[in-house]
Structure 1
Amino acid sequence: MILVVNPISGGLDKAELIDAVTEFAANENVNLIIYNTTGDSDIEKIKVLNTTHNPKRILVAGGDGTIKMVAEATEHTDVIIGILPAGSANGLAVDLNLPKTLEENLPIAFHNHYMEMDMISINGKKSIHLSDLGLNAEMIKNYENSTIRGKLGYALQTVNTLIDLDDPFVVTITGDFPTLECEARMIVVANSQKYGTGVSINPNGIMDDGKFELVVLKNMDLLVLGKIISGNMPLDSNDVEIISTDKALVTTNVPVSFQIDGEYCGAENKLNIKILPKQLKVAIP
């Protein structure tokens, strides 16, 4: 079994986590190989480890970006990914209803059954969880440029981003559905339901149904933002529109901040999106 650790994710020291996983593996008579990511050719190095050792499972201690990297490194193989949440927000772990503690997650990661999850291709890049254009991506850009990590850092940058809010952009969405053109504050490309903060943005999201949702937030005043944060997503209103599909083209009148799975990707004015069915096996409770 391979353990992939992102040493810097979530701003947390991983020494205790590695010790706990090592001890659990020893008690289970499992040979554990530990790989610490460095940001230098990690996907290629994980590919080599996976091919060389052919493990049945790879454990991932990190956030959504680390999970996605391992998923890309192991595509077209039969390995099961076990998640040990250790990022700033851990969005996929929240959506999979994984427990809060490492002790509870270890037996799931080592032994439990799995879901065959879809992924999404956006301009050729892969997304496993939630990507978006607009307000949240702008917040992530500000978060990446700040020095405060974790949920406090996200909260501070949410306030700063709202204070410096740009004008709405105009979006056109085309596909196998009536074309939508409107002003918007944010477009979410969702393979799941919740952000890592626990905020539900796509209540109908299912990660293995062969479809994704485009959640169009036309208005993001404090009332609507408050409803979303408190879990009362305003589905039947003029503020939000949700499109469920397997492919779509999203264009905007100006370049808009864009992020994939919590990683800022610059500004985009065109997203070519399609579903990638049953791309990874991930252990579930």
Structure 2
Amino acid sequence: MKHIHFILNSIAGKGNNNLDLKLINKYFDKSDYHVVIKPTFYKKHAIKLTQASITEEADIVVACGGDGTINEVASCLVSTSIPLGIIPLGSGNGLTSNLNIPKNIESALEIIKNNTIKKIDVGLLNQHYFFSNSGIGFDAQVIKHYEASRKRTLSSYIKATIKSLKKTDILTEVETTFNNTTLLHKPFLIFISNSNQMGYNVSLTPKASLIDGKLDILIAPKLNTLKIALFTILMFFKKHHILKEVEIHQTKEIKITQNNKQLFQIQLDGEFLMIKGNSIQISVLEKAINVIA
């Protein structure tokens, strides 16, 4: 008998999420599967629940929520043999869009039932894993304002974007080191991606791959007001790369250093995070997690 554990964030996305045990048993028969549903009640609770599931020798752990919930669950499963299943209940759903996992619960359950395993790369920022993307500068501020909003909708995301445009001086001069080259930047944003989706069908790195063993890096310098507005508009149409100021690179690792500050404001898979210190190290772990997709 296989043990399958569902880690459920009931307030992800629009909230009021629920898993019907009868529906789950339709796909996972009681004679073959022991089903456990574990609801989360606070931020980072999914980490504790997943760690407990590992101790309980779960055969499959399913993250039911948005990118933040998926990150918490998946971070515990890196370098283990336990596959990650996903039921996307969030608003953005960046990673699941890249994996072509549908938002329809029954369709997602069907994928988990079929149990086709894909090994994907994992990003590592200092000691923090990410599976879709991370960034500093403008995008981190967007997530900061988005988290402060009460609703997890596209309109809230657009409002957070507009609010972030009013303050674009979060980063001072930074030094980036990658591919044996060190450069100085005064960036508008530095975006590091493992996936070709950010969520809401928005992408800064449409050519990124979960299985190529590389991270896609987008660096945009500080721009004037008109260029920032143009960049933002083009971003929603995946055409931002036509701006000559925008740099796109691929690398296995990158170090970012800021000499005048001891704190980084970062977004990590759509969650706002502050990291102390004047430098961060980002790298890729090749095929480090098993995902059902």
Answer whether TM exceeds 0.5 for this pair.
yes
1:107 pairs with 110, 125, 128, which one? 110
CA–CA separation in structure 2 for the residues paired with 1:124 and 1:267: 11
Q: TM-score, normalised by structure 1?
A: 0.89
Output aligned runs, 1:248-263, within 5 Å: 248-252=254-258, 253-254=260-261, 255-263=263-271
Residue 53 of structure 1 corresponds to which residue in structure 2? Answer: 57
Q: Paired residue for 1:227, among 234, 243, 251?
A: 234
Distance in 2, matches of 1:172 and 1:25, equals 51
Q: Aligned Cα RMSD in Å? A: 2.3
> After superposition, what is the alpha-carbon deviation per residue over 1:190-219, rounded to whole angstroms, capped at 9, x for unaligned?
111111121121122111222112210224
| Conserved 8 A contact 1:134-1:256 | no
Offset at residue 14 of structure 1 (A):
1.6
Mark the CA change 1:34 to 1:16 in structure 2 (over 3 Å): closer, same or farther. closer
TM-aligned CA distance change 1:17 to 1:131, over 3 Å: farther
Task: Give 5+ residue unaligned stretches, structure 2.
Answer: none
Structure 1 distance, partners of 2:22, 2:140, is 35
Work out which of the residue numbers 217, 229, 246 in structure 2 matches 1:240: 246
Residues 1:94 and 2:103 aligned together: no
**Residue type of the alignment partner of 1:80:** P
The residue type paired with residue 135 of structure 1 is F
Alignment partner, residue 131 of structure 2? 128
Residue of structure 2 aligned with 1:183, choices 186, 198, 217: 186
1:15 and 2:37 aligned: no
CA offset digits 1:32-71 (Å, max 9, x no partner): 111112336542432232232331x222111122112222
Contact 1:81 1:109 in 2 (8 A): no
CA distance in 2, matches of 1:9, 1:32: 21
**2:176·2:185 contact (CA, 8 Å) conserved in 1?**
no
Match of 2:146 in 1: 143
Cα distance change on mapping 1:123 and 1:85 into 2, 3 Å: same
In structure 1, runs of 5+ residues without a counterpart are: none
Partner residue of 1:281?
290
CA 1:126–1:52: 2 relative to 1, 3 Å: same
| 1:12/1:23 CA distance change after superposition, 3 Å | farther
> Structure 2-normalised TM-score?
0.87
Q: Secondary structure at the match of 1:11?
A: coil
> 1:263 deviation in Å?
0.9
Distance in 1 between residues matched to 2:29 and 2:108, nearest whole Å: 16
- Specify which of 76, 101, 109 is matched with residue 73 of structure 1: 76
Secondary structure at the counterpart of residue 195 of structure 1: coil
Please state whether the residue corresponding to 1:193 is helix, strand or coil. Answer: coil
Q: 1:43 aligns with which of 35, 43, 47?
A: 47
Name the CA shift for 1:21/1:217 in 2 (closer, same or farther; >3 Å). farther
Tell me the number of residue pairs that the alignment of Structure 1 and Structure 2 aligns: 282
Pair 1:161–1:22, CA change in 2 (3 A): farther
Percent sequence identity over matched residues?
A: 27
